[in-house]
């Protein structure tokens, strides 16, 4: 039987993470899988590892660009390559659990009206320890007539989504002039136009590394820009004639809500991050300079009111005292409770999955 699913990994200079991602595909219980690595002219060990992996495995293809084409173009080439009935885009710092593809392909073969299937993801820190309190239900949820854009409680990390082949061209139709938010653009389109199914079971692991896009959204300016990009996706849905009218109306309502309320709440959320940096880590010698660099960045990107407000808070002794004496003790209690919950989930509820994670990591180290 020929390969039925392609796992596509665009990568650049992250060979240590890439090893884990690639080996997690090789070790899948589903054997009719093709792994394709798209190397954006890396200067680390990516080429040596990928060439060796391709020599040892007939189902591995390694494509290296002569020059760095940029992240968006590298992903676009990956979508153009799709020639199997199903495909999955996997970030080079994420990886799959061994039975993920087998479960996903079985669902899509049984449920032919759905264009893609979404699985839950385990969120891990850089040490591959669980860092999320999310708990799966083992249930299936379908979204059809009309489909639903980013429904509450449904993850949309495309490392946990298997698509049918016919969806790949939609990525090229939504070509960006910049590299931010390309995954959100593609997912918003397919979620709005097509029926899909969500299976609340763990299929892959998302690693919150320091260089990942999710980690970068912890920065104030990056997080706000990402939120604005999400709003732009809603505008595209509103004017998409191929989307059901009810979903277009929902997008319009959500856009108004984001503009009037959610953007302000996101502003407050990132303000809190900066306050915590300033007041909880006063002994760091370089912290003040980091604060002012962040303020300069905010002003350059047009967030002047936020920068001025934060500068006022940063130098206000009364607010700092109130935070340290009243707010911080409550936050510490909540953090301790969250850590206990995560440890309990890792030890009990996700014990099998965490054991598989350990096996994958150990295998990559001993390679």
SS3 175: coil
231 and 208 together in one domain:
no
Number of structural domains found in the chain: 2
> Which residues have C-beta within 8 Å of that of residue 241, sequence separation ≥ 6?
none
Q: 244 and 275, same structural domain?
A: yes
Whole-number pLDDT of residue 181: 56
Give me the domain span that covers residue 131. Answer: 5-213
Residues 173, 255, single domain; the answer is no
Listed residue (217, 305, 295) closest to 264, CA to CA: 305
360 within a domain of the structure (yes/no): no
Of 165, 182, 213, which residue sits at a domain end?
A: 213
**How many C-beta neighbours within 10 Å does residue 330 have?**
9
- In this predicted structure, what is the pLDDT of residue 358? 93
Judge whether 27 lies within some domain.
yes
Q: What is the predicted pLDDT for the residue at 271?
A: 67
| Block mean pLDDT (10 aa), the chain, length 367 | 86 94 95 96 94 94 94 91 95 95 95 95 93 92 80 86 95 58 78 93 87 52 66 82 85 76 66 68 61 77 79 84 86 92 95 94 82
pLDDT attached to residue 262? 62
The pTM for the full model equals 0.84
Q: Does residue 358 lie within any of the structural domains? A: no
C-alpha 319/C-alpha 341 separation (Å) is 31
């Amino acid at each position: 039987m020929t390969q039925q699913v392609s796992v596509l990994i665009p990568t650049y200079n992250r060979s240590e993470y890439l090893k884990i991602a690639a080996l997690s595909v090789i070790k899948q219980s589903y054997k009719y899988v093709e792994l394709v690595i798209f190397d954006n002219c890396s200067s680390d060990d990516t080429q040596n590892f990928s060439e060796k992996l391709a020599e040892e495995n007939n189902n591995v293809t390694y494509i290296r660009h002569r020059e760095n084409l940029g992240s968006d173009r590298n992903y676009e080439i990956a979508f153009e390559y799709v020639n199997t009935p199903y495909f999955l885009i996997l970030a080079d710092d994420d990886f799959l659990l061994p039975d993920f593809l087998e479960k996903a392909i079985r669902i899509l073969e049984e449920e032919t009206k759905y264009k893609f299937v979404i699985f839950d993801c385990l969120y891990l820190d850089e040490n591959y320890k669980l860092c999320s309190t999310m708990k799966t239900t083992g249930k299936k949820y379908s979204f059809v007539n009309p489909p639903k854009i980013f429904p509450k409680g449904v993850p949309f990390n495309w490392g946990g989504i298997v698509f049918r082949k016919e969806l790949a061209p939609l990525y090229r139709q939504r070509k960006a002039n910049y590299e931010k938010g390309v995954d959100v653009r593609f997912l918003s389109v397919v979620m709005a136009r097509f029926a899909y199914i969500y299976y609340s079971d763990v299929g892959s692991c998302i690693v919150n590394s320091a260089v990942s896009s999710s980690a970068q959204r912890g920065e104030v300016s990056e997080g706000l820009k990402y939120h604005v990009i999400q709003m732009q996706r809603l505008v595209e849905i509103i004017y998409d004639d191929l989307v059901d009218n009810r979903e277009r109306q929902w997008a319009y309502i959500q856009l108004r809500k984001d503009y009037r309320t959610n953007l302000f709440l996101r502003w407050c959320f990132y303000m809190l991050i900066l306050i915590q940096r300033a007041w909880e880590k006063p002994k760091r010698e370089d912290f003040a300079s980091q604060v002012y660099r962040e303020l300069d960045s905010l002003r350059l990107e047009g967030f002047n009111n936020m920068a001025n407000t934060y500068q006022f808070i940063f130098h206000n002794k009364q607010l700092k005292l109130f935070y340290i004496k009243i707010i911080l003790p409550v936050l510490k209690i909540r953090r301790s409770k969250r850590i206990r919950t995560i440890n309990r989930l890792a030890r009990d509820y996700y014990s099998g999955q965490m054991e598989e994670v350990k096996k994958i990591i150990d295998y990559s180290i001993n390679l």
